[in-house]
Amino acid sequence: MPRFIPVLIILLFGAAPLLSASETKFRVKYLSVENLYIDGGRADSLSVGDRLSVKGSAGATAELEIVYVAEHSASCRILSSSGTISAGDVAILVSRAAPPQTAAPTVSTPLPADTVILPVEKETFSPRPPSQLAGSISLLFYHYDDNGRAGLDFTQSTARINLKARRLLGEELTLSIRSRGRYDNRRRSPAPEVSRHSWENRLWEFSLSYEDNAAPFNFAVGRILPRRAGSIGYIDGIIIEGRLKENWRIGLLGGVYPDWLYNNPRASLNRGGGYINFTLGDHPGLLIDQTIAALGEYHGRTVNRNYLLVQGRINFVSRFGLYHTAEIDINNDWRKEKSGKTVSLSNLYINSFYNLSGSLRVGMSYDNRQNYWSYEIRTLIDSLFDDRIRQGARARFDWNLLRRFRLGGAFGFNERSGDRRPTYTYAADISRHGFWRGKLSAAILASGFNGAFEKGTNYSLRLGFHTARFGQHGITLGRYLYKPSSGGAYRTNQWGEWRSDFSFSGNYFVGAAFQLDDGDDIRGWRAQGELGYRFR
């Protein structure tokens, strides 16, 4: 054998890692606010400190460094970038982290010449990213002093909490808590069924979730508002989501409605179903996010509702946006007898905007919310049920003029079954921001309505002051007039309000407001204060 062959073999084996590193490619799976995720992990010999280069389809580039690695996914921080990186772009491994330095062994006595010393390999562990706590907690106090003949003085004390603990145990685990405790104290009861002193507590969310778009399965358990199908509403239960393909996900959910959603706590509802979601692209480029869900709700063995939910949004480079949600009821059992239909459209909402130019934006929305027969109201008189059907539409434009002026306007209508004619609404406003060294803003607003029973107008003037040192402060003066559509004298009410919000000592914040009312319907003053802390 020629002498150079063993040397060549050694050189080839030594260069193999370098050759494979230059050709190791991964796909960008997901971009969060802070990090970028790829579809490679420890199983692909990746480790913390490795660096990658991304070249996007639109010419964008980015340099990445791995900060956390799992078995089949890795989280990277962006060292530098130009342009927008999107899911599906290719990331190429360009360098590996330097191996840890090991000190040479210290030998106190000479060893025999034939002694072989084997190097001791130390197992290295990828450091897990630290947990993050975000959100706020606050205490709020509100008082209304009624100087009218009714004398309905009212005091309210509230404690709020809205927290998210992310990356628990070094994984993509998030603990979410959103709650409120409120105590009402009235000078006297406005009605026999209203207590003078009462507690009202709400736990909107208390959940533990695992959300890693590169993982094959995600889950959420507790009191949850489904992220991909929020129109479903809150549920006490569990959601399990699996990834079918790169852009497709399927989920199953089951549980019960929270008791606080119903006046009668005995009317507990079990619900279950599933959904399929398609997501393509990312903001601010083209983003398509669509979900179709099938839900069933039962009180024991009695059906409450079976329906399909279609929900989604489409955005294109901040130039065009469309959000929609629709609920299609599948009526069976007693619901088919009450409605007389097998399939009915109960709710439809569409909201869209389009930027005609850099300074002109238009938007339109349509809302058709029809009541549906449920377990609680199945004994309701048909005429009362029909009165709850309503729909409306609204159009708006915003035009940014020269010298930081903005002009806006809106027109819409609302219609309810049984009304002689729709209620028409209109509004206009003009504002200017950033004058007097960028600290002041001013706005004039006018709005009105003309309905089947009443018509009225509302005028207000707002002045604002904002600095990084002294926070935000504003004064509003307004006047509201209305009268019966059939004629008669106007009833007027006017008010003045002062509001301030500022932060101090880093994360603490304070909010305060004072409003003085005087008119035919209301006379008195109200004050509100809030003290809180933000976790960052």
Dist CA 292 CA 477 (whole Å): 46
Q: What is the mean pLDDT of the chain?
A: 83
Rg, C-alpha atoms of the chain: 31
> Of 254-263, 350-359, 404-413, which gets the smallest average pLDDT?
254-263
Dist CA 210 CA 216 (whole Å): 11
The mean pLDDT value for 374-394 works out to: 73
Helix (H, G, I), strand (E, B) or coil at 119: coil
List the one residue out of 421, 459, 420 whose CA is nearest residue 443: 459
Percent helix, strand, coil in the chain, to 5, is 10, 55, 35
Structural tokens at position 513: 């407001």
The mean pLDDT value for 326-330 works out to: 94
Amino acid at 255: G
pLDDT at 158: 96
pLDDT of 9 strictly over 50: no
Dist CA 108 CA 249 (whole Å): 63
pLDDT at 39: 83
> Of 216-225, 251-260, 375-384, which gets the smallest average pLDDT?
375-384
Structural tokens at position 241: 């989501």
Residue 371 — φ and ψ, nearest 5°? -65, 150
Most confident of 298-302, 399-403, 524-528: 524-528
The predicted-structure confidence for 439-462, as pLDDT tens digits, reads as follows 899 999 999 999 988 999 999 999
pLDDT at 459: 96
- Between the alpha carbon of residue 472 and those of residues 74, 406, 513, the distances in Å are 41, 20, 12
Residue 50 — φ and ψ, nearest 5°? -60, 145
The predicted-structure confidence for 59-80, as pLDDT tens digits, reads as follows 677 888 888 887 778 888 887 7
pLDDT band at 90 (very low <50, low <70, confident <90, very high): confident
List the one residue out of 283, 208, 291 whose CA is nearest residue 251: 291
pLDDT band at 192 (very low <50, low <70, confident <90, very high): confident
Strand runs labelled E in 211-247: 217-224, 235-243
List the one residue out of 327, 289, 305, 410 whose CA is nearest residue 361: 410
Dist CA 64 CA 51 (whole Å): 5
Most confident of 25-29, 81-85, 207-211, 267-271: 207-211
The predicted-structure confidence for 144-165, as pLDDT tens digits, reads as follows 999 988 888 999 999 999 999 9
Dist CA 414 CA 426 (whole Å): 11
Peptide bond into 6 cis (omega under 30): no
Residue 474's beta-bridge partner residues? 464, 499
Do residues 52 and 92 touch, judged by C-beta distance below 8 A?
yes
pLDDT band at 41 (very low <50, low <70, confident <90, very high): confident
For the full predicted model, state whether its pTM sits above 0.85. no
